[in-house]
């Protein structure tokens, strides 16, 4: 861990932190001035440009070697090879803007190699449909998992800058707080609604625009010992959570999350905005250099679209945080099923609701909050048939259709809601695991 002469950790270069130290993110709203907004928007655009140049160069390389499938072995060049081509990719931006684009590109290649390289080449369902109907010839960009170009409308308007010799800090002046980062040393006004840890060290800052608002996420290392692990658990302190398409989950007590489908609420508004965008896009013009120039009204409408989707995202996160906090406070052991959410998302009848309710994010919250509070987070085995087993007599059904929402046991005649039955089975699974570890009191 890199430190100053005074022994203060400033860079966070060591991967493993000392005992008792943890890394957490602190998210704040920032209020840049109009001049700072212009600089931030330029940084977002330059990061997207460098990333897209990396993707374009990758496609050219793969075409030159006749890539068909397998691992991508591509040596990612330094970002200076790209910035040298364009005058506006200069030193007026933080160098981490360009380096962040390179790191995201490397992460995209790594994800492809880990997830898709070992399998035969796959295309999106929409592409496969076009291949069957109109004889469409797929290209490299149609390959599933391949790094894709980032769009201005739906891309990530953000970049990450790292701590280097104290260049990321929070200052106070006349009762107001300011965020100082490279190229913004005059400070950006920040709403510090909760204080940072006194001994905390800022490792990096991610600045992003969500709709029309700007936020910063600070990654902070600080001494935060986890709560003492719960030694004994009673059966009443164990809860099983079965995934539900419409309700997010059904627990082992038969209760639902009462989840509001936030994307469903904004669907009509999204359709209206998309129609407006389509009309304004048709009026786009081409400048002397061949670049497409959109109207100011189009850009305003894009921000309106981003604002609507951001609100739904924030509502979902708020709901999931509150639910995960409630569960980890009330119970000492939480049992969930090991679902392959990526496969579920590909099903047209299931994927839309899955992306809406954010069950994967919910599981992640339960996991790290359980660890922080000294509780037990248990994932049932992938092959544990929680839905097919009877929670009363443990009889297993050979077949169970997704459309069968009521579980009828052929052995004891039990009639019970399918998800409630699965939640009870997950709870019994967790009790068995804890009993094997001599944790059940």
Domain map of the chain by residue range?
21-37+159-223, 44-152, 235-436
User: Smallest Cα–Cα separation from 321: which of 361, 377, 266?
Assistant: 361
Q: What CA–CA distance (Å, rounded) separates 314 from 307? A: 11
Give me the pLDDT at residue 7, please.
46
Give the pLDDT of residue 9.
53
Predicted pLDDT at 84: 92
| Phi and psi at residue 103, to the nearest 5° | -65, -40
Q: What is the 3-state secondary structure (H, E, C) of the chain?
A: CCECCCCCECCCCCCCCCCCEEEEEEEEEEECCHHHHHHHHHHHHHHHHHHHHHHHHHHHHHHHCCCCCCCCCCCCCCCHHHHCCCCCCCCCCCHHHHHHHHHHHHHHHHHHHHHCCCCCCCECHHHHHHHHHCCCCCCHHHECCCCCCCCCCCCCCEEEEECCCCCCEEEEECCEEEEEECCEEEEEEEECCCCCCCCCEEEEEEEEEECCEEEEEEEEEEECCCCCCCCCECHHHEEEEEEECCCEEEECCCCECCCCCHHHHHHHHHHHHHHHHHHHHCCCEECCCCCEECCHHHHHHHHHHHHHHHHHHHHHHHHHHHHHHHHHHHCCEEEECCCCHHHHHCCHHHHHHHHHHCHHHHHHHHHHHHHHHCCEEEECCCCCCCCCECCCCCCECCCCCCCCCEEECCCCCCEEEHHHHHHHHHHHHHHHHHHHCCCEC
Distance of CA 88 to the CA centre of its chain: 31
- Give the model's pLDDT for residue 39: 93
Q: Which residues contact 63 (CB under 8 A, 6 or more apart)?
A: 140
Q: Which residues of the chain have pLDDT under 50?
A: 1, 3, 5, 7, 11-13
The pLDDT assigned to 145 comes to: 86
> Over the stretch 32-91, which tens digit does the pLDDT of each residue have?
999 999 999 999 999 999 999 999 999 999 999 888 888 999 999 999 999 999 988 988
CB within 8 Å of 234: residues ≥ 6 apart: 332, 440, 441
What is the pTM for the complete model shown? 0.80
pLDDT at residue 441, as a whole number: 62
């Amino acid at each position: 861990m890199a430190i100053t002469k005074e022994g203060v950790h400033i860079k966070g270069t060591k991967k493993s932190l000392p005992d008792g130290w943890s890394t957490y993110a602190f998210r704040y709203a920032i209020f840049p001035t109009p001049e700072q907004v212009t600089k931030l928007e330029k940084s977002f655009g330059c990061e997207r440009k460098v990333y897209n140049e990396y993707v374009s160069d990758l496609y050219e390389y793969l075409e030159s070697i006749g890539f068909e499938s397998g691992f991508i072995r591509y040596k990612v060049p330094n970002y200076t090879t790209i910035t040298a081509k364009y005058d506006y990719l200069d030193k007026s931006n933080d160098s981490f803007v360009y380096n962040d684009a390179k790191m995201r590109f490397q992460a995209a290649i790594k994800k492809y190699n880990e997830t898709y390289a070992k399998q035969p080449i796959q295309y999106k369902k929409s592409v496969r449909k076009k291949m069957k109907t109109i004889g469409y010839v797929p290209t490299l960009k149609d390959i599933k998992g391949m790094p894709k170009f980032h769009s201005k409308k739906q891309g990530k308007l953000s970049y990450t800058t790292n701590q280097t010799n104290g260049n990321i800090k929070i200052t106070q002046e006349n009762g107001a707080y300011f965020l100082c980062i490279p190229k913004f040393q005059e400070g950006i006004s920040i709403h510090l609604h909760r204080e940072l840890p006194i001994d905390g060290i800022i490792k990096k800052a991610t600045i992003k625009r969500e709709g029309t608002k700007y936020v910063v996420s600070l990654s902070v290392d600080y001494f935060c010992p986890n709560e003492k692990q719960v030694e004994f658990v009673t059966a009443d302190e164990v809860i099983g959570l079965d995934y539900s398409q419409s309700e997010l989950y059904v627990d082992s007590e038969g209760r639902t999350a009462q989840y509001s489908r936030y994307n469903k609420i904004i669907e009509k508004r999204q359709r209206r905005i998309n129609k407006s965008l389509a009309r304004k896009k048709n009026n786009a013009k081409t400048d002397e250099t061949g670049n497409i120039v959109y109207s100011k009204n189009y850009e305003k409408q894009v921000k309106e679209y981003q604002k609507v989707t951001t609100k739904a995202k924030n509502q979902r996160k708020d709901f999931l945080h509150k639910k995960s906090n409630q569960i980890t406070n009330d119970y000492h052991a939480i049992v969930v099923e090991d679902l392959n959410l990526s496969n579920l998302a590909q099903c047209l009848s299931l994927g839309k609701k899955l992306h809406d309710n954010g069950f994967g994010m919910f599981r992640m919250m339960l996991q790290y909050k359980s660890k922080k509070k000294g509780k037990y987070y248990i994932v049932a085995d992938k092959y544990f048939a929680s839905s097919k087993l009877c929670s009363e007599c443990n009889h297993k059904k050979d077949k169970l259709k997704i459309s069968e929402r009521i579980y009828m046991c052929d052995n004891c005649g039990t009639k019970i809601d399918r998800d409630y039955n699965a939640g009870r089975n997950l709870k019994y699974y967790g009790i068995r695991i804890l009993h094997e570890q001599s944790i059940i009191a």
